[in-house]
Structure 1
Amino acid sequence: MSSTPPETETYDVTLSREEQWVVHHVLSERVDEAIDDDESPPTWTLELVETIESDSETLTGYQARRLHDTLAEYVDRDATPRQDLVHGSTVLTRLAEILDAEH
Protein backbone atom coordinates (compact mmCIF):
# COMPACT_ATOMS: atom_id res chain seq x y z
CA MET A 1 0.00 0.00 0.00
CA SER A 2 1.44 3.34 -0.98
CA SER A 3 1.41 6.24 1.38
CA THR A 4 -0.05 9.61 0.60
CA PRO A 5 2.65 12.15 -0.24
CA PRO A 6 2.97 15.07 2.13
CA GLU A 7 0.92 18.10 1.14
CA THR A 8 4.05 20.24 1.28
CA GLU A 9 5.20 18.49 -1.91
CA THR A 10 4.99 20.90 -4.83
CA TYR A 11 5.25 20.53 -8.59
CA ASP A 12 6.00 22.97 -11.34
CA VAL A 13 3.32 22.70 -14.01
CA THR A 14 3.89 24.89 -17.03
CA LEU A 15 0.70 25.81 -18.86
CA SER A 16 0.34 27.58 -22.19
CA ARG A 17 -2.05 30.51 -22.36
CA GLU A 18 -4.72 28.25 -23.91
CA GLU A 19 -4.19 25.59 -21.25
CA GLN A 20 -4.46 28.22 -18.53
CA TRP A 21 -7.76 29.37 -20.02
CA VAL A 22 -9.21 25.83 -19.97
CA VAL A 23 -8.04 25.23 -16.39
CA HIS A 24 -9.40 28.61 -15.29
CA HIS A 25 -12.72 27.85 -17.00
CA VAL A 26 -13.03 24.46 -15.31
CA LEU A 27 -12.20 25.90 -11.89
CA SER A 28 -14.60 28.82 -12.39
CA GLU A 29 -17.37 26.35 -13.25
CA ARG A 30 -16.63 24.49 -10.01
CA VAL A 31 -16.83 27.72 -8.00
CA ASP A 32 -20.04 28.81 -9.75
CA GLU A 33 -21.69 25.41 -9.12
CA ALA A 34 -20.93 25.67 -5.41
CA ILE A 35 -22.30 29.21 -5.23
CA ASP A 36 -25.44 28.16 -7.17
CA ASP A 37 -25.93 25.39 -4.58
CA ASP A 38 -25.56 27.95 -1.73
CA GLU A 39 -22.29 26.32 -0.68
CA SER A 40 -18.83 27.71 -0.18
CA PRO A 41 -16.50 26.84 -3.06
CA PRO A 42 -13.78 24.37 -2.16
CA THR A 43 -10.74 26.23 -0.86
CA TRP A 44 -8.44 24.39 -3.25
CA THR A 45 -10.33 25.80 -6.25
CA LEU A 46 -10.00 29.39 -5.04
CA GLU A 47 -6.31 28.93 -4.23
CA LEU A 48 -5.68 27.35 -7.62
CA VAL A 49 -7.52 30.13 -9.49
CA GLU A 50 -5.32 32.62 -7.63
CA THR A 51 -2.21 30.62 -8.55
CA ILE A 52 -3.16 30.51 -12.23
CA GLU A 53 -4.08 34.21 -12.34
CA SER A 54 -0.76 35.16 -10.77
CA ASP A 55 1.09 33.19 -13.49
CA SER A 56 2.57 30.89 -10.86
CA GLU A 57 3.39 27.38 -12.03
CA THR A 58 3.68 25.74 -8.62
CA LEU A 59 0.94 23.35 -7.48
CA THR A 60 0.77 21.29 -4.32
CA GLY A 61 0.30 17.55 -4.70
CA TYR A 62 -3.27 17.94 -3.46
CA GLN A 63 -4.03 20.67 -5.98
CA ALA A 64 -2.51 18.63 -8.81
CA ARG A 65 -4.63 15.58 -7.91
CA ARG A 66 -7.85 17.59 -7.56
CA LEU A 67 -7.20 19.49 -10.79
CA HIS A 68 -6.51 16.22 -12.59
CA ASP A 69 -9.80 14.70 -11.40
CA THR A 70 -11.85 17.82 -12.14
CA LEU A 71 -10.28 18.30 -15.56
CA ALA A 72 -10.83 14.62 -16.40
CA GLU A 73 -14.55 15.04 -15.70
CA TYR A 74 -14.66 18.10 -17.98
CA VAL A 75 -12.80 16.39 -20.82
CA ASP A 76 -15.14 13.37 -20.60
CA ARG A 77 -18.27 15.49 -21.13
CA ASP A 78 -19.97 15.22 -24.50
CA ALA A 79 -20.56 18.99 -24.60
CA THR A 80 -16.92 20.02 -24.05
CA PRO A 81 -15.69 22.09 -27.03
CA ARG A 82 -13.14 20.34 -29.23
CA GLN A 83 -10.46 22.97 -28.63
CA ASP A 84 -10.91 22.56 -24.86
CA LEU A 85 -10.51 18.81 -25.32
CA VAL A 86 -7.16 19.31 -27.00
CA HIS A 87 -5.74 21.63 -24.36
CA GLY A 88 -7.45 19.88 -21.44
CA SER A 89 -6.11 16.50 -22.53
CA THR A 90 -2.60 17.91 -22.78
CA VAL A 91 -2.82 19.23 -19.21
CA LEU A 92 -4.26 15.89 -18.04
CA THR A 93 -1.31 14.02 -19.55
CA ARG A 94 1.15 16.39 -17.90
CA LEU A 95 -0.57 16.06 -14.51
CA ALA A 96 -0.76 12.27 -14.82
CA GLU A 97 3.00 12.11 -15.47
CA ILE A 98 3.67 14.21 -12.38
CA LEU A 99 1.28 12.22 -10.21
CA ASP A 100 2.54 8.85 -11.48
CA ALA A 101 6.07 9.91 -10.57
CA GLU A 102 4.88 10.31 -6.94
CA HIS A 103 4.33 6.59 -6.57
Structure 2
Amino acid sequence: MSSSPPETETYEVTLSRDEQWVVHHVLANRLDEALDADERPPEWVLKAVETLETDGDTDRFTASQANRIYDALAAYVDHEETPDRDIDHGMVVLERLESVQDAQA
Protein backbone atom coordinates (compact mmCIF):
# COMPACT_ATOMS: atom_id res chain seq x y z
CA MET A 1 0.00 0.00 0.00
CA SER A 2 1.29 3.44 -0.84
CA SER A 3 1.52 6.63 1.21
CA SER A 4 -1.53 7.80 3.11
CA PRO A 5 -3.87 10.04 1.10
CA PRO A 6 -5.87 12.83 2.74
CA GLU A 7 -8.51 11.64 5.23
CA THR A 8 -11.35 13.12 3.17
CA GLU A 9 -10.42 11.20 0.03
CA THR A 10 -12.80 8.34 -0.62
CA TYR A 11 -12.57 5.18 -2.66
CA GLU A 12 -15.48 3.66 -4.54
CA VAL A 13 -15.29 -0.08 -4.09
CA THR A 14 -17.75 -2.33 -5.89
CA LEU A 15 -18.39 -5.49 -3.89
CA SER A 16 -20.57 -8.50 -4.58
CA ARG A 17 -22.98 -9.62 -1.88
CA ASP A 18 -20.56 -12.38 -0.80
CA GLU A 19 -17.63 -9.96 -0.71
CA GLN A 20 -19.66 -7.53 1.37
CA TRP A 21 -20.54 -10.37 3.74
CA VAL A 22 -16.88 -11.22 4.33
CA VAL A 23 -15.95 -7.58 5.01
CA HIS A 24 -19.00 -7.21 7.27
CA HIS A 25 -18.01 -10.39 9.14
CA VAL A 26 -14.49 -9.07 9.76
CA LEU A 27 -15.82 -5.71 10.95
CA ALA A 28 -18.46 -7.36 13.17
CA ASN A 29 -15.68 -9.39 14.80
CA ARG A 30 -13.84 -6.13 15.55
CA LEU A 31 -17.01 -4.73 17.14
CA ASP A 32 -17.50 -7.89 19.21
CA GLU A 33 -13.88 -7.84 20.39
CA ALA A 34 -14.25 -4.25 21.60
CA LEU A 35 -17.56 -4.94 23.34
CA ASP A 36 -16.21 -8.11 24.97
CA ALA A 37 -13.35 -6.04 26.38
CA ASP A 38 -15.84 -3.40 27.64
CA GLU A 39 -14.33 -0.89 25.22
CA ARG A 40 -15.97 1.51 22.84
CA PRO A 41 -15.76 0.13 19.27
CA PRO A 42 -13.45 2.13 16.99
CA GLU A 43 -15.30 4.86 15.11
CA TRP A 44 -13.82 3.72 11.78
CA VAL A 45 -15.40 0.28 12.26
CA LEU A 46 -18.82 1.75 13.04
CA LYS A 47 -18.70 4.03 9.98
CA ALA A 48 -17.47 1.23 7.70
CA VAL A 49 -20.29 -1.06 8.84
CA GLU A 50 -22.77 1.76 8.22
CA THR A 51 -21.32 2.23 4.73
CA LEU A 52 -21.65 -1.47 3.96
CA GLU A 53 -25.22 -1.56 5.18
CA THR A 54 -26.41 1.53 3.30
CA ASP A 55 -24.40 2.02 0.11
CA GLY A 56 -25.51 -1.02 -1.91
CA ASP A 57 -23.17 -2.55 -4.50
CA THR A 58 -20.69 0.33 -4.56
CA ASP A 59 -19.31 1.36 -1.20
CA ARG A 60 -17.45 4.59 -0.51
CA PHE A 61 -14.74 4.23 2.10
CA THR A 62 -12.35 6.90 3.31
CA ALA A 63 -8.68 6.24 2.71
CA SER A 64 -8.23 5.48 6.40
CA GLN A 65 -11.14 3.03 6.42
CA ALA A 66 -9.87 1.34 3.26
CA ASN A 67 -6.40 0.89 4.79
CA ARG A 68 -7.79 -0.48 8.04
CA ILE A 69 -10.24 -2.79 6.26
CA TYR A 70 -7.34 -4.01 4.13
CA ASP A 71 -5.24 -4.81 7.20
CA ALA A 72 -8.08 -6.53 9.08
CA LEU A 73 -9.14 -8.52 6.02
CA ALA A 74 -5.55 -9.54 5.23
CA ALA A 75 -5.19 -10.91 8.77
CA TYR A 76 -8.50 -12.76 8.42
CA VAL A 77 -7.64 -14.45 5.11
CA ASP A 78 -4.24 -15.48 6.53
CA HIS A 79 -5.86 -17.09 9.58
CA GLU A 80 -5.61 -20.88 9.50
CA GLU A 81 -9.27 -21.44 10.44
CA THR A 82 -10.81 -19.09 7.85
CA PRO A 83 -13.15 -20.99 5.49
CA ASP A 84 -11.92 -21.32 1.88
CA ARG A 85 -14.96 -19.49 0.50
CA ASP A 86 -14.18 -16.51 2.74
CA ILE A 87 -10.54 -16.59 1.68
CA ASP A 88 -11.54 -16.50 -1.99
CA HIS A 89 -13.91 -13.55 -1.53
CA GLY A 90 -11.51 -11.81 0.85
CA MET A 91 -8.64 -12.03 -1.65
CA VAL A 92 -10.84 -10.44 -4.32
CA VAL A 93 -11.66 -7.57 -1.96
CA LEU A 94 -7.98 -7.11 -1.08
CA GLU A 95 -7.10 -6.91 -4.78
CA ARG A 96 -9.93 -4.47 -5.40
CA LEU A 97 -8.86 -2.23 -2.51
CA GLU A 98 -5.30 -2.22 -3.85
CA SER A 99 -6.44 -1.36 -7.37
CA VAL A 100 -8.68 1.56 -6.37
CA GLN A 101 -5.96 2.95 -4.14
CA ASP A 102 -3.35 2.59 -6.90
CA ALA A 103 -5.69 4.24 -9.42
CA GLN A 104 -6.09 7.29 -7.19
CA ALA A 105 -2.41 7.51 -6.20
Instruction: Name the TM-score, length of structure 1 as normaliser.
Output: 0.92
Structure 2: segments with no counterpart, 5+ residues = none
Identity score, percent? 59
Give the aligned length.
102
Do structure 1's residue 12 and structure 2's residue 12 form an aligned pair?
yes
Runs of at least 4 residues off by over 6 Å: none
Counterpart for residue 83 of structure 2? 81
Structure 2 CA distance, aligned partners of 1:44 and 1:34? 13
Q: Kindly tell me: are residues 16 and 39 of structure 1, through their superposed partners in 2, closer, same or farther at Cα, counting changes over 3 Å?
A: same
Counterpart for residue 99 of structure 2? 97
Counterpart for residue 22 of structure 1? 22
The letter of the residue matching 1:62 is S
Residue by residue, what CA displacement relative to the aligned partner does 1:46-85 show, whole Å, maximum 9, x if unpaired?
0000100013511111111010001000000000000000
Higher relative contact order (CA 8 A, sep 6+): 2
Are the equivalent residues in 1 in contact too, given 2:76–2:82 (CA < 8 A)? yes
Structure 1 CA distance, aligned partners of 2:50 and 2:96? 20
Instruction: Name the TM-score, length of structure 2 as normaliser.
Output: 0.90
Structure 1: segments with no counterpart, 5+ residues = none
Structure 1 CA distance, aligned partners of 2:85 and 2:48? 22
Structure 2 CA distance, aligned partners of 1:32 and 1:14? 26
